C-alpha cells in the first residue's frame, strides 16, 4: 500500500474534549453552577432544552474513557478543567474538585498518555457572572489568575501542555455579542470588552506560569480560526474578506503576536462601540507576553461578498464543498492555507491542531458498529493538508481530533455527534466508531494510507 502522508515519529496524536460537554455530575463534590448550567436551563437556549447535567457521565466513567484512549493508542489527551469545581465560590478553593483531575491525570500517566489541559473552556462559575457580568468585569482577570495559579500549584508539571483559553472568539463574540452561547448577551461593545479581559487574563496567567518555573511544561492558547475568502476578485469583495478575517482571526492573533489590535478593525468597530476606554496602559504588553505554542482549532472557511448594510460589510456566501451536519463547508485546503499564513505572518512557534473534526449523522447499524466513512474522509483530507505543511518545513507538532466521544454540542445539545466514539446517552454505552479504528492505524503508522 502506498503511504499518502507520513508524519514525524514524535508527532503528537490526540483527541480532545471539554469539561461541561462530557463530565455531568454538575452538583457533585462541591461543584456549583457555571453560566452554561444557567444558560442551558433557560427556555429556548439549547436544542430541546438539553443540558450538561449528565452528558457522557465522564465524571464517573473516566477510567473507562481513559482505557478507550489507550485502546485507540493516542499519545495525548486534551481535556478542560471545570472552574466551578475548583473555586465553587469566589476565593474558596475546593480540593475535592481538584481531586477528580488528579485521578484523571493519574489514569492517563499510568497509560503513558500526555495530559493537555485547557484552563477555560467556557464554564465560567455563575458567581463570577453574578459579579458584574463575568468577563465584562475587569476583576475577572484576578479571579482567573487565582484559579490558574492554583491549577499550576496542584497539577503543574503533571501537565506538559497548558492551554489558557479555548477559542476566546466564542467566549466573547459568540457569547456577549451574538448571544448564541452563555451568557447570551447581544451587545457588540460588551463582546469586545469580554474579549479584551479574556486576552488579558491569558497574559496574566502566562506571567504567573513563568514565575512558577514549572519544569517540562509549556503554555499556549487555542484560537478557533476561520480563513475568509472573497466571493470574487472584485475589490469590494476583497474588502469584505479583509473585515471577515479581522472579525474571526486578526482581532485575536494581532494582540497576542503583534501587541496591537488591528487598525482597520479598530476603525470599523469604533463606529459601532464608541471609545475603546476599556483598553488600559500596558494591557497590550501583557496580552502579548511570549507563549510556547499556538493551538489552532480549524473546522471550515468562510466565503464572503460585500454587503453595505452589514456591520462587517460582509455577507457569507455558501461554498461549493460538501457540508457537515453543522452546515460547515468541508475545505481541507483552507487548513493548509491557514497554517501557511500563520507561519508567514504570525509565528514560527510550535503549533498544535488542538481541534479538527466533524459532525455527521451517525447510526449504530445491525452489526453494532458505526460506519462513519464521511468522518474518516474528513480527518484523512485534513491530515493530508497538515502533512503537506509539515513537509514544507511547517512547525506543526500535533493533531487532536474533536472529539474523543459524542458530547453536548452547546446550543445544539446532543443533536450533533462529533465523536470518534459513539455515546448511547440512554445507556452511556461507548462504541468505537470506524473512525476510531482507522485513527488507531494512523497513529500506529504515523501516517495515512489510502
| Active site amino acids | 167, 355
Ligand-binding annotation for 409, yes or no, is yes
Helix (H, G, I), strand (E, B) or coil at 399: strand
Q: How far is CA 208 from CA 149, 178, 214, 444, in A?
A: 7, 32, 10, 38
> Taking CB under 6 A as the rule, does residue 23 contact ligand AZF?
no
Radius of gyration of the chain (CA): 21
- List residues bridging with 421 in a β-sheet: 405, 432
> Taking CB under 6 A as the rule, does residue 297 contact ligand AZF?
yes
Ligand-binding annotation for 143, yes or no, is no
Ligand-binding annotation for 121, yes or no, is yes
What is the rounded CA–CA span in Å between residue 136 and residue 188?
Answer: 12
φ, ψ for residue 304 (rounded to 5)? -130, 150
Shortest Cβ distance from residue 170 to ligand AZF (Å)?
Answer: 7
> Taking CB under 6 A as the rule, does residue 59 contact ligand AZF?
no
What is the rounded CA–CA span in Å between residue 154 and residue 148?
Answer: 10
Of 21 and 40, which has the nearer Cβ to ligand AZF?
Answer: 21
Tell me which residues in 252-291 interact with ligand AZF (CB under 6 A): none
Show the site string, 108-127: x = touches ligand AZF by CB under 6 A, - = not: --------------------
What is the rounded CA–CA span in Å between residue 181 and residue 410?
Answer: 7
- List residues bridging with 402 in a β-sheet: 16
Shortest Cβ distance from residue 7 to ligand AZF (Å)?
Answer: 23
What is the rounded CA–CA span in Å between residue 13 and residue 393?
Answer: 19
Instruction: Pick the binder of ligand AZF from 15, 18, 217, 302 (CB under 6 A).
Output: 18
Inter-residue contact 313 to 239 (CB < 8 Å): yes
Instruction: Pick the binder of ligand AZF from 37, 167, 374, 406 (CB under 6 A).
Output: 167
> Taking CB under 6 A as the rule, does residue 362 contact ligand AZF?
no
Answer whether the bond into residue 183 is a cis peptide, omega within 30°.
Answer: yes
Of 214 and 436, which has the nearer Cβ to ligand AZF?
Answer: 436
Show the site string, 399-428: x = touches ligand AZF by CB under 6 A, - = not: ---x------x--------x----------
Of 94 and 175, which has the nearer Cβ to ligand AZF?
Answer: 175
Ligand-binding annotation for 13, yes or no, is no
- The DSSP annotation for 47-69 comes to GGG--SSSTT-HHHHHHHHHHHH
Shortest Cβ distance from residue 161 to ligand AZF (Å)?
Answer: 17
CA torsion through residues 173, 400, 337, 119, sign: positive
Shortest Cβ distance from residue 38 to ligand AZF (Å)?
Answer: 18
Residues that bind ligand AZF (CB under 6 A): 18, 21, 167, 224, 297, 355, 402, 409, 418
In the annotated binding site for substrate, the residues are 21, 121, 166, 299, 402, 409-410
Amino acid at each position: 500500500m502506498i503511504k499518502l502522508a507520513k508524519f514525524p515519529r514524535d508527532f503528537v496524536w490526540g483527541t480532545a474534549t471539554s469539561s461541561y460537554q462530557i463530565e455531568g455530575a454538575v452538583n457533585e463534590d462541591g461543584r456549583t453552577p457555571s453560566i452554561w448550567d444557567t444558560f442551558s436551563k433557560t427556555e429556548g437556549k439549547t436544542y430541546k432544552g438539553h443540558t450538561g447535567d449528565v452528558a457522557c457521565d465522564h465524571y464517573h466513567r473516566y477510567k473507562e474513557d481513559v482505557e478507550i484512549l489507550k485502546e485507540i493508542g493516542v499519545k495525548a489527551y486534551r481535556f478542560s478543567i471545570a472552574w466551578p469545581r475548583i473555586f465553587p465560590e469566589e476565593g474558596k478553593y475546593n480540593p475535592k474538585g481538584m481531586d477528580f483531575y488528579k485521578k484523571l491525570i493519574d489514569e492517563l500517566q499510568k497509560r503513558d498518555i500526555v495530559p493537555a489541559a485547557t484552563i477555560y473552556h467556557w464554564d465560567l462559575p455563575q458567581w463570577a457572572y453574578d459579579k458584574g457580568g463575568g468577563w465584562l468585569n475587569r476583576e475577572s482577570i484576578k479571579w482567573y489568575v487565582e484559579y490558574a495559579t492554583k491549577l499550576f500549584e496542584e497539577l503543574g508539571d503533571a501537565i506538559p501542555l497548558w492551554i489558557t483559553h479555548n477559542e476566546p472568539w466564542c467566549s466573547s463574540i459568540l457569547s456577549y455579542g451574538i448571544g448564541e452561547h452563555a451568557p447570551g448577551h447581544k451587545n457588540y461593545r460588551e463582546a469586545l470588552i469580554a474579549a479584551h479581559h479574556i486576552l488579558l487574563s491569558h497574559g496574566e496567567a502566562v506571567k504567573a506560569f513563568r514565575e512558577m518555573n514549572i519544569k517540562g511544561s509549556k503554555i499556549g492558547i487555542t484560537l478557533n480560526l476561520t480563513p475568509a475568502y472573497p466571493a470574487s476578485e472584485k475589490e469590494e469583495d476583497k474588502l469584505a474578506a479583509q473585515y471577515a478575517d479581522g472579525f474571526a482571526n486578526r482581532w485575536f492573533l494581532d494582540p497576542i503576536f503583534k501587541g496591537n489590535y488591528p487598525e482597520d478593525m479598530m476603525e470599523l468597530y469604533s463606529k459601532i462601540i464608541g471609545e475603546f476606554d476599556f483598553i488600559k496602559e500596558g494591557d497590550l504588553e501583557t496580552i502579548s507576553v511570549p507563549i510556547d505554542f499556538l493551538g489552532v482549532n480549524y473546522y471550515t472557511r468562510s466565503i464572503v461578498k460585500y454587503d453595505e448594510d452589514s456591520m462587517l460589510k460582509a455577507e457569507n456566501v455558501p461554498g461549493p464543498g460538501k457540508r457537515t451536519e453543522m452546515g460547515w463547508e468541508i475545505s481541507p485546503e483552507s487548513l493548509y492555507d491557514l497554517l501557511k499564513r500563520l507561519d508567514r505572518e504570525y509565528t514560527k512557534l510550535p503549533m498544535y491542531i488542538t481541534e479538527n473534526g466533524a459532525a455527521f449523522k451517525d447510526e449504530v447499524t445491525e452489526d453494532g458498529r458505526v460506519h462513519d466513512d464521511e468522518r474518516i474522509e474528513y480527518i484523512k483530507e485534513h491530515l493530508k493538508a497538515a502533512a503537506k505543511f509539515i513537509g514544507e518545513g511547517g512547525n506543526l507538532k500535533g493533531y487532536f481530533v474533536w472529539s474523543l466521544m459524542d458530547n453536548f454540542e452547546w446550543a445544539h445539545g446532543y443533536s450533533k455527534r462529533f465523536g470518534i466514539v459513539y455515546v448511547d446517552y440512554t445507556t452511556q454505552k461507548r462504541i468505537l466508531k470506524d473512525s476510531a479504528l482507522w485513527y488507531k492505524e494512523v497513529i500506529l503508522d504515523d501516517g495515512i494510507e489510502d
